Structure 1
Amino acid sequence: MVEPSYVPVLPTTRAAQAAFRHLDVRARRRIAPLWTVIPRIGPERVRGTRPAPDPDTDPAELRRWLVPRMNSLTEVMADAAGWIDAAHVEALLEGSATALWHLATKSRLRLVTGPERDPQQQRYIADLAFLSGRGLGIRVLLDGPPDEAEATELRSLVERLGQPPDQLDLILDVGLVVDPLASGETALIALDLLAPLIPWRTVVLAAGAFPRTFEDHHTQPFRVLARHDWQLYRSVCAARPGLPRRVTYGDYSVEHASSANIAPAQHRGPGWGLLRYTTPESFLLARAPTRGRDHVVRARATARRIVEGGAFRGDGGTGPSAGERWLHSCAYGDGPRGSGNAETWIQAGHNQHMHFAMSQLGATG
């Protein structure tokens, strides 16, 4: 694939897939998502660890659940490229093997492994990647500054997998940025220590800044929060202008960095959701009800507040992204049809964010 300009880290949910499907052709050509397969059942997974015991023990049910979802993702991606990380489901090989084979042979997605994973699973994913002919992504979780031991572990993994460097992508995943200064230092150490190990085909620096919770949403339904992920990337590029190769920007779009670690809800959600809008430096978050007698009127009023704000780019309903056009239509529509729900609002937010991030990267070179 052409080296991407932007890597959104997305969960394999309906909302995220629909958001990507509705990107315009020009954006799709330069965006390469890193999809993370969400768990089928069980509690939230802890980043970088496997639950013990694994709650998903039924291979037939996993296969029945996973195969159609991965086939759907393959259709959504069509001729677009990206990565797919199956860490949450790959351990139960009897249940995941068919879907992983389809991904390797019928899609343009590159499979992903990581240093912290079981060696047998690393080997299996690497073998599938070799058969695909598209290479392999190695996702390194940066929950703290890496050291020489971790560099040695990564080098050992590369040697053990036996893939040529021009078939390997390094994905440095900072996760949620809580302290921008500390995360920036971690990213710089990782780039200095891990990026020079081999001539990687692609080096991605990914981070997330979207909040997990919306505190005080009853008294403050509208919030503006800094895009620390974007600020982190710019600060790293400014601190290392002489890097031998370009570092590709990645973020978690408009969902929190743990969203792909959570199985689909088995119960009714809260009676509210979030409309989201991305600006050059911030996320606009607006709480709106999803139930109640006047929830449609209130949801449209919430959308109208975003649309009529100074940061909105979709004047007259002809905005640059499908997400902005949907927001405008919601804001000035009438009746329940077209007012959306929590899932629709996530979809519109993802679409607008990906389109905006792509154009922002183009503007900054």
Structure 2
Amino acid sequence: MPEPLYVPVLPLKPHAARTFAGLPPAERRYAAPLWTLPPHEQRPLQRVPESALRDVARSRRFTPGAWLDVPYLEDCTEAVTSRLHELWTVGSLTPVTAPNRPLRLHDLAVTSAASPCGGERLGIRVALPGRWDETRAQEVATLLAALARSTATGDLPVAVDLLLDLDTVLDDRPDAGKQALLALDALVPLAPWRHIAVLSGASPKQALRELPLDAYDYAPRHDWALWHEIRDAAREYGPRVRFGDYGALPAEDLRLVEKENDRSGGASEWGAIRYTTETDFRFAKFRARGEGRHDSIRAAARRLLADADYRGREDGWSDEWLTDCALGAGSVGVGNATKWNQVSNHQHFTHVIRALRR
């Protein structure tokens, strides 16, 4: 896998897969997604829409690669593990494991990575939702030692990638950068990591939920500031650390359990479109149901276009959609939750990749 500049953590869902696959190859080539299977109520792997898998496969062209993680998978039946092995080998998605994963899933990830159809690489996802705990380094060291013992030479059987995941990073975690550095100081020396990425999400959920309808606000991009703090900390490994985030959406959205009424039109009373600038997330909240819905959504699009930091046509189709929505032009309408998520993520991916290339 070539060295990516950007590691977006994305749910294995149609809206995310289609949006990433729709990036131009010139930009997609710098990003390697960490596809994560969200929790479902039952039989998760057999409920993944084929359209999402097709878009993931399509997006693999012209990219540095992609990981696939299943942190919430509890169904380890033969049918499920066989399907997962297929995705990790024939699907060319790098398997991911973590300390304290179920033994069967961990062994399957290692076997898939080392198989003739595998990519001979394995992602190790280390969760850091709060303060760093040295026992986590011991857990990773134990995992790596077990991998080395599986070979006659005592070497690691596959290349390993370190994916340090801080999850949500908002105002209530002012020392998140310091904690990430403590973690990296302990973890980096443990292995000849092929790739190192720090992942975090700063797009707010609760603050947006509490805004009144038709409001326009912003939130700091703590994830972007955190990555710069790591890169500027004068660590030898600093230049190797790649930026990762959860796109323009809240990190906690990826953990939501999808219920039947989520797919049957039981929409929220409100919606939002997010826009990414160099230092902030801007978001426009609007009425998503009932009378006045169309006017509210078009007014939100106009607020975004009028922002002093709006980039204009550089964002491609997401800008075109926003423009047509704001003006009531063309046939795009005002969209739905899927379209608002796609527009938010597309402009975000475009902006982040271009910023990292500068």
Counterpart pick for 2:190 among 197, 202, 221: 197
Give the structure 1 partner of residue 50 of structure 2: 68
Q: Deviations over 1:127-157 (max 9, x none)?
A: 1121112411000001234344322221110
Q: CA deviation at 1:309?
A: 1.4
Q: Counterparts of 1:94 and 1:165 in 2: how far apart (Å)? A: 25
> Tell me, what secondary structure is at the counterpart of 2:193?
coil
Query: Percent of pairs identical after alignment?
Result: 33
* Structure 2 counterparts to residues 282-293 of structure 1, below 5 A: 282-293=280-291
Give the structure 1 partner of residue 5 of structure 2: 5
User: What runs of 5+ residues in structure 2 fail to find an aligned partner?
Assistant: 149-154
| Counterpart amino acid of residue 192 in structure 1 | D
Q: CA deviation at 1:96?
A: 1.9
Matching of residue 126 in structure 1 with residue 126 in structure 2 = no
Q: CA deviation at 1:186?
A: 0.9
Q: Deviations over 1:209-266 (max 9, x none)?
A: 1112224322672111000110111112111353275100001111111222112242
Q: CA deviation at 1:165?
A: 7.7
Judged with a 3 Å threshold, the aligned counterparts in structure 2 of structure 1 residues 348 and 244 are, in CA distance, closer, same or farther, namely closer
25-34 vs 259-268, which deviates more?
Answer: 259-268
Give the structure 1 partner of residue 59 of structure 2: 77
For normalisation by structure 2, the TM-score amounts to: 0.88
Aligned length, in residue pairs: 342
For normalisation by structure 1, the TM-score amounts to: 0.87
Q: CA deviation at 1:74?
A: 3.7
Matching of residue 295 in structure 1 with residue 309 in structure 2 = no
Judged with a 3 Å threshold, the aligned counterparts in structure 2 of structure 1 residues 90 and 75 are, in CA distance, closer, same or farther, namely farther
Matching of residue 181 in structure 1 with residue 174 in structure 2 = yes
Q: Deviations over 1:102-131 (max 9, x none)?
A: 212322321111013123321121111211
Q: Deviations over 1:73-125 (max 9, x none)?
A: 54342323111101222543334223312212322321111013123321121
Superposed CA RMSD: 2.2
Give the structure 1 partner of residue 146 of structure 2: 160
* Structure 2 counterparts to residues 66-145 of structure 1, below 5 A: 66=48, 68=50, 71-79=53-61, 80=63, 81-89=65-73, 91-131=75-115, 132-145=118-131
Give the structure 2 partner of residue 53 of structure 1: none
User: What runs of 5+ residues in structure 1 fail to find an aligned partner?
Assistant: 42-55
Q: Counterparts of 2:349 and 2:84 in 1: how far apart (Å)? A: 26
Q: Counterparts of 2:345 and 2:315 in 1: how far apart (Å)? A: 14
Give the structure 1 partner of residue 28 of structure 2: 28
